[in-house]
Amino acid sequence: MNVVRAIVAWFAAVAAATVALLAPLLVWDAAGRSLALGDVRGAVAMSFFVAVFMGAITALPWTGLVWLGRVARAPRGLWDAGAGAAMGPALFLLIFQRPLTAETLAVVVLFGFSGGVGGFVYWAVAGRPRRTETATDTAAAFE
C-alpha cells in the first residue's frame, strides 16, 4: 500500500473517530437548551484538541495493528473496523486509568463505537482490496 495513502487514511480515520466520539456527547450536553455561538466555538476547539490527542495516542498502535492484520491476511474491512473498535476502549482504559465498571461502561462503548467508525473510514480511504484479474478473466473478455 502506498505510504501517503495510508497516512491520509489515518488522518481521515482520526477525524471520523473524533466526530463519532464528540457528537453524542455534545448532543447529550445540549439536550433541552439552545446553543450559543460560544458553545459552538468551544465545541470546535474541543474537537481540535481531541483530534490531536487521539492522533498522538493512536499513531503507533494503529500502525502495529494494520501491520499485524496484513501479516495475518485478515479480511481488510472487518479487521480495520474491529481493530479500531478494540483499540478505542483499550486506550480509554489505559490512558485514563479507569476500571471497567458499570459507571464507565457507557463511555467504553462510546469509545469502541468511535474506534470502529475510525477503522471503517481507514479501510474506505486506504482503498478496499479489489479482486485481481486472472488470465481466465482476460481471455473471457475477448470471447
Residue 134 lies in a domain: no
123, 81 contact by CB (below 8 A): yes
107, 92 contact by CB (below 8 A): yes
**Mean pLDDT score, 25-48:** 68
89, 115 contact by CB (below 8 A): yes
**Mean pLDDT score, 21-47:** 69
- Please tell me what DSSP assigns to residue 133: P
More confident of the two residues 13 and 133: 13
Residue 25 lies in a domain: yes
Residue 140 lies in a domain: no
For cell 465545541, name the residue: 43
How many structural domains compose the chain? 1
Residue 138 lies in a domain: no
Lowest pLDDT segment from 4-13, 31-40, 79-88, 109-118: 31-40
1, 126 contact by CB (below 8 A): yes
Domain that holds residue 97: 3-128
Residue 135 lies in a domain: no
